[in-house]
Amino acid sequence: MSTVTTDICIIGAGPVGLFAVFEAGLLKMKCHVVDALPQVGGQLSEIYPKKPIYDIPGFPSILAGDLIKNQMAQIAPFHPTFTLGERVEDLERLEDGSFRLVTNENTEICCKVVVIAGGLGSFEPRKPAIENLANFEGGKGVNYMILDPEHYRDKRVVLAGGGDSALDWAIYLADVAKELTLVHRGTTFRGAPESAAKVSSLAEEGHMRLLLKSNVTEVHGNGKLDAVTLVPDGADPYKIKTDYFIPLFGLVPKLGPLENWGLELEKSAIVVNTVDYSTNVPGIYAIGDINTYPGKLKLILCGYHEAALMAQSAYSIINPDKKFVLKYTTVNGVPTM
């Protein structure tokens, strides 16, 4: 068993967790970050690294993957440590008020403050109920996330879904795939109206095929996907050839082991005090999409705000004999550790 000793253990290496490292670093607090995914970035790296984000201050547009790269450069002066590809299973409060966490790989983290920045928690894609679908997973033609759009260049691709993810990737892949089809069971989309209008326009111009009131009901192939069966509402089923089928039906959030940590929960989210985003357990904070409070907005920039207030509060736990004094980076720059 390897043991790490730090001031703050941050569970979740997404954008909000990484910004918490920065805010803690400004106050000279050491951070160790744990994430179940094998790389930093959370959903931004795992699901849509090539998707542009438009509401980060100072960036009219920035790709999700580039935002994570920038944040890693931003926290580099503070030398955070990481445990990636492991999930925190157990949390124990010790007699002195500190915490001991243990991962599924028996990594032990000892810290004074725990910050849960786990986004949606443990998450997995919502899969359609299609027989034999699993036979084509693992590089055989059925994917649930798009990590590298270039993987689909000059290929036949069928997307399914009616939300922002399906619309955004349909727009992006229209210039990448040889043949692109978007299948949606309804007649209207749940995503942004401007994205829906763009998809309709691309279909009218012949850049992609848009099939509404339709469902993919079967997948076919001999070791590798080569076709899917479509069923239009009120019409006969038919097959279309494809190299990839990508159902984009969102994620199923699961809090996992932290459900057993004595935290106050509401609809699979952690209830926090908006003064400092502390939980009902002293010394444990929750920031980002994992928390809930009146008026909560699940935006990255809101998570950044939560991280800043959390760090100031955590300072008093880690340094009980010191008075917190706000220091502006425009005056003091970024300290190194």
The secondary structure of 242-304 as a DSSP string is -SEEEE---EEEE-GGGGGS---EETTEEE-BTTTTB-SSTTEEE-GGGEE-TT----HHHHH
DSSP label of 35: E
For 12, 104, 110, the CA distances from 144, given in Å and listed in that order, are: 21, 25, 36
Q: Which CATH architecture has domain 3-123+251-332?
A: 3-Layer(bba) Sandwich (3.50)
pLDDT at 6 over 80: yes
Q: What is the pTM of this model?
A: 0.69
Per-residue confidence (pLDDT) for residue 138, from 0 to 100 = 86
pLDDT in tens, 70-122: 999 999 999 999 999 888 999 999 999 999 999 988 999 999 999 999 766 55
Per-residue confidence (pLDDT) for residue 92, from 0 to 100 = 94
For 36, 142, 151, 268, 315, the CA distances from 123, given in Å and listed in that order, are: 10, 18, 24, 12, 31
CATH superfamily of 127-247: FAD/NAD(P)-binding domain (3.50.50.60)
Q: Over pLDDT 70: what percentage of the chain?
A: 93
Each domain of the chain, given as residue ranges in start order, spans 3-123+251-332, 127-247
For the purposes of burial, counting CB atoms within 10 Å of the CB of 271, is it exposed (0-12), middle (13-18) or buried (19 or more)? middle
Neighbours of 76 (CB within 10 A): 14
Q: Mean pLDDT across the chain, nearest whole number?
A: 91
Helices 64-75 & 15-26, crossing angle to 10 degrees? 20
Per-residue confidence (pLDDT) for residue 147, from 0 to 100 = 74
The residues with which 211 forms a beta bridge, in sequence order, are 183
46 three-class SS: helix
Q: Over pLDDT 90: what percentage of the chain?
A: 72
pLDDT at 330 over 60: no
190 touches 160 (CB < 8 A): no
**Pick from 158, 156, 148, 167: which is nearest to 128 by CA?**
158
Q: How far apart are CA 244 and CA 320, in angstroms?
A: 56
Per-residue confidence (pLDDT) for residue 231, from 0 to 100 = 95
3-123+251-332 and 127-247 have identical folds:
yes
Q: How far apart are CA 200 and CA 210, in angstroms?
A: 7
